[in-house]
Every structure is written in C-alpha cells, then in structure tokens.
Amino acid sequence: MKASSAATTAVHGSDLRRGVTMWGSYSWGYADVGADIYVALGLVVASAAGATNIAFGFAGIVYVCIGLAYTELAAAYPVAGGGQFFVTRALGDLVGFVAGWAVILDFTIDIALFAWFTIGYVSFLIPWLAIHHFVYFLCVLAVTAALTALNVKGVQQSSRLNEVVAAIDVCTETIILISAFVLMWNPTVLVHTMSAHWPTTSNLLLGISLAIISFVGLESISHAAEETQRPSTVLPRTSVALILTILIFALSYSNLVLGITVSGPHGSATPLYQIVGSPDNADKAIAVLASYIPSIGKFLALYVPIIGDFLVLISSNSGIFGASRIAYSMGKFQLLPAWFQVTHKKTRTPAMTIVAFSGVALVELIAAYLQGQGALNFLADLYAFGAALSYTLVFIALITLRFTDAAVPRKFRMPWNVTLTIKGRRGDLSLLSVMGLLGIFAILLFTLYTHPIGRIVGPLWVISGLIFYGLYRRKSKSPLFGSIDRDWVRLHKATLTDAGELEMLDEYQDNLKRDGRG
C-alpha cells in the first residue's frame, strides 16, 4: 500500500455524526448477533441433529477469535466500514473491494433473512400467515420498507429501538434458559440424543457452516465506530461483553434443545430438537422451544414470539445500517463511486445508499420467495458464504497490519503474541489470530462444499462486483490492480482527532518519530 501527500477523496456532505453511546454500541452489535440464535437454531438442528452442540461449539471458538480481531481493529481504526476498511488498508484496493462487496452481500441478506423471520415469529401467534405465503411475503416487504425509512431518518432514532429491545431480550433469553434447564433438561437425554442421532459427516459440516450464522454481526459495532463517542474505550468493552453474552446463549441453547424430550403424537417421547428443526417451526424455533416449558410455557408462547419478532426486526434494521456504512466507506476510499458517500443534509445519513441496498435486499427476497419451501435455505446459503469470505480476509488484514502499520496505537490486542521479524518489519503475531484464520477458512470450505446455492450465487456476486469495480476504476482512471496513493498517516491523525482520542494521537506521533516517519 503506497502513501503520498494525497488525502482520501471526500465529497461535500459526507461526514457522519458521532451520536452512539456505549450502550448504543453494545445494542448495535446485539441487534445483529443477539437475534441470530432465533434464526440459526432451527436451521442448525435440522442439519446437525445430535451434533448441534458440536456445530455451535466449533463456530463459537471461531467467533471468539473473530470478535477479538474486530475489537482490536475497530478500537485502533475507529472509522466506518469495518472489515472493508481494515482489508483495504492492509492488502490494497482490489482485495479491500472484495471484502467490502462480500460484507455487503451479507448485510443485504441480513435485511432479507431477518425480515423474513420477523413475520415467521408473528406467524406463531397468527398461524393463518404461515399458510398464505403471498400475504406472508407482502408483510416481509412491508417490514423492509419501514426499516429503510427509519434508517434514512437517522442513526440515533434507529439506535434507540435497538437499545430498548436488546435490554428486554437479554432478560427474556436468560429466563427461558434457566426455566428450561431447571424444569426440563436431562443430561442423560443429552448423551442419548448425541449418540443415537449423530449426523452424517456432510450434515455435520453443513450444520457448522450454518452455525456461524449465530455469530455473524459483531462487526456492526465497528461499522458504527465513526459514529461512536470515544471509540478506543467504548469498543473493547462493548465487544468483549457481546462476545461473552452471545457465546453463552448459543452454547446453552444448543445443549438445551438436545437434552429435552416432550410428549409427541400418541403420547410418545419425541426429542425436542426434531420439533424445533421441523420445516414448519424452523422460522420460529425459540418460540416453539419456550412454549414447551412447564408452568410458564403458555405465557411464554404469547410473549416470546413478540420479543423474538422485535429482535429479528432490529437485526434486519442493523443489516440496512451495516450495508449503507460499508458502501459509504467504499465510496470514501474510491472503491465505489462518490455517490455512495453522500449524506442527507438534515439527517446526516447516507440516505441514497440505504435505499439502494434495501433494493438489493428486495431482489433477494423475491428470489427467495420463488424458492417456495426452500426460501430459508436459499438466504442462509448466501449469508454463510459472505460472512466466511469477509472474515477470512479480515484475519489476514489483522496479521498484516501488525507488521506494516505497527506505529498505530492498539489499546486492545489479541492475546498469545510472539514477536517476529518478517522482511525487515518487526511485529507481534497473535497465535489466536492464526487459529481464527484457519477456523474461518475451514468454514468457508464447508460452505462451498455443502451449500449448492451459496457456492454458485456467492462467487457470482463477487465476480459481478469485480466487473463493476473494473468499469468504475477505468472510468475514474484509477489503477485496477494497484491502489490509489493515500496519506494514511494524515488520515489516521484526522480520525483520532475527530474521535477525541488525543492520548492515542500523541502516542501515534511519538511512534512515528521513533520509526523516523514523524
């Protein structure tokens, strides 16, 4: 990556407002990741069966590594764009575009998938919707349109919705887990289910690739970094708290559902995971599980669908937010046309970009609807592909930046470090980042192997993006395979100043002088 006196191109009206607090930052992440168990549980148990907890466990280990990587990078580089910015800075414009384009796929699928599940949880209370598919689909479209309008209005209004629902859901999921473990769960049943219903190797790999869905979205915190107050302090705290919260929930629910049997047809004992993972219940799995809890199940059957509905609603909302902020960053760094970084004069949100990528989500929803019963699998296939590809590139970026941009202060660092010198550059290599890279790359391979739609449409999305990128760069007379010259030092100083991180700015300047670059 070259550096020169040229600063990053910006256009008039392209600044974002720093209005997200610590709880707001946590809520943005929880809005995306917290809802994932509502979506993934039914899909994973349908594939992984008795190894559902193993699938969630493997994905959970990788998730911890991903979370720590994003925590370090977002605290060090508090700008909008998240992984796309990190990869661009570390590996150049072309690879940065691929990372950003993959994440945009993920977030547009986020909009579509979670809007679909929003109506799925409503259908638990109104079963009529489940059998009238066209009306169901129209309701999904209405949800997408309403959330688009909310995000155009402003991030603070959108953040308030996240904060309220996130607080309620943390309490709700905790109550469900404690009640079910105390009143229903049996470790003997867990062991029997795992041994008697162990999946085939192919289904286990499919389950692992779907389980990563439970942990997609932590990067929402980094996407809001440019709108977060004192990011170097706020982001590590909120990220670590979110990592622990989601990991506990995912592992608990996956073991819970395997250790329970309920009364099935004709009084026979039926493993609960089979009911939760059935085609009729996959889009409302947590509500179905809660309804079987003795004593309080009837109340939870009315209450959980409502809170689940709101949680997946705000996760769809986070998808709109994330896609627009990534495109905003890509426009800012000339990976996409400057049109994508223009913000509304009054709301200071990238309104046109929000509308554009909500339109992409609309196309995905129509394609999913045409799949009939395979709608959820269609969306999940693409979701897993985009996440695995982008996370793989982020790990490579983290490892690279430790050596090529060592002067940047890192208030939080991934643990288990060894000091190395590579091509004359001295830096610390986190062994945990290497483990995370190997783990997420394995999940990417599992996705390509087990997802027939994902391995076709996912790469086609990347190829179509590269064609668009090539045409844009040619028109703007920018290098196709190389990178535009940027003054990264000047940009980073401006970023730290804008974020109010004056101590980090002083440390950065001292590090530059030490390296002979000040």
Residue type, 135: V
Higher pLDDT, 262 or 23: 262
**Predicted confidence band of residue 346 (pLDDT cuts 50, 70, 90):** low
Please give the pLDDT value at position 267.
Answer: 64
pLDDT digits (tens, 9 = 90+) for 447-485: 888 888 878 888 999 999 999 999 999 999 999 898 999
Higher pLDDT, 180 or 225: 180
What's the rounded mean pLDDT across residues 206-224? 76
Q: Among residues of the chain, what percentage have pLDDT more than 70?
A: 86
**Predicted confidence band of residue 377 (pLDDT cuts 50, 70, 90):** confident
Longest dimension (CA), the chain: 79
pLDDT digits (tens, 9 = 90+) for 278-315: 888 888 899 999 999 998 998 999 989 888 888 887 77
Which residue ranges make up each domain of the chain? Answer: 22-514
Q: How many CB atoms lie within 10 A of CB 13?
A: 12
Please give the pLDDT value at position 53.
Answer: 95
**∠ at Cα 165 (229, 25), nearest 5°?**
15
Average pLDDT along the chain: 83
The DSSP symbol for 430 reads: E
Please give the pLDDT value at position 4.
Answer: 39
Reading the block at residue 436, the tokens are: 């995370």
What's the rounded mean pLDDT across residues 61-71? 90
CB distance 356 to 108 below 8 Å: no
Q: CA 510: distance to chain centroid?
A: 35
- For residue 345, pLDDT over 60 is answered with yes
Reading the block at residue 2, the tokens are: 């070259």
What's the rounded mean pLDDT across residues 103-109? 85
Q: CA 442: distance to chain centroid?
A: 18
Lowest mean pLDDT among 11-20, 137-146, 185-194, 457-466: 11-20
According to the CATH classification, is domain 22-514 in 1.20.1740.10?
A: yes
**Predicted confidence band of residue 195 (pLDDT cuts 50, 70, 90):** very high
- For residue 432, pLDDT over 60 is answered with yes
Most confident of 50-59, 107-116, 146-155, 309-318: 50-59
What does pTM read for this prediction? 0.84
CA dist 329 and 77 (Å) reads 13
Please give the pLDDT value at position 265.
Answer: 60
| DSSP helix, strand, coil percent of the chain (3-state; round to 5) | 75, 5, 20
**Closest by alpha carbon to 61, among 315, 200, 259, 251?**
251
Please give the pLDDT value at position 83.
Answer: 83
First to last CA, the chain: 18
pLDDT digits (tens, 9 = 90+) for 27-57: 767 766 777 888 889 999 999 999 999 999 9
Lowest mean pLDDT among 5-19, 115-129, 360-374: 5-19
The pair phi, psi for residue 6, each rounded to 5°, is -70, 125
- For residue 6, pLDDT over 50 is answered with no
Please give the pLDDT value at position 159.
Answer: 57
Higher pLDDT, 505 or 381: 505
**Closest by alpha carbon to 30, among 255, 415, 310?**
310
Lowest mean pLDDT among 45-49, 219-223, 335-339, 371-375: 219-223
Which H or E run includes 60?
A: helix 52-76
Residues belonging to the chain: 518
- For residue 322, pLDDT over 90 is answered with no
Cα–Cα separations (whole angstroms), residue 5 to 77, 395, 407: 20, 29, 18
Residue with structure tokens 């009837």?
298
- For residue 13, pLDDT over 50 is answered with no
Q: Among residues of the chain, what percentage have pLDDT more than 90?
A: 36
Lowest mean pLDDT among 145-149, 215-219, 344-348: 344-348
pLDDT digits (tens, 9 = 90+) for 232-254: 666 777 878 888 888 999 999 99
Per-residue burial over 345-380, b = 16 or more CB atoms within 10 Å of its CB, e = otherwise: eebbbbbbbbebbbebbbebbebbbeeeeebbbbbb
* Interhelix angle 93-125/454-475, nearest 10 degrees: 130
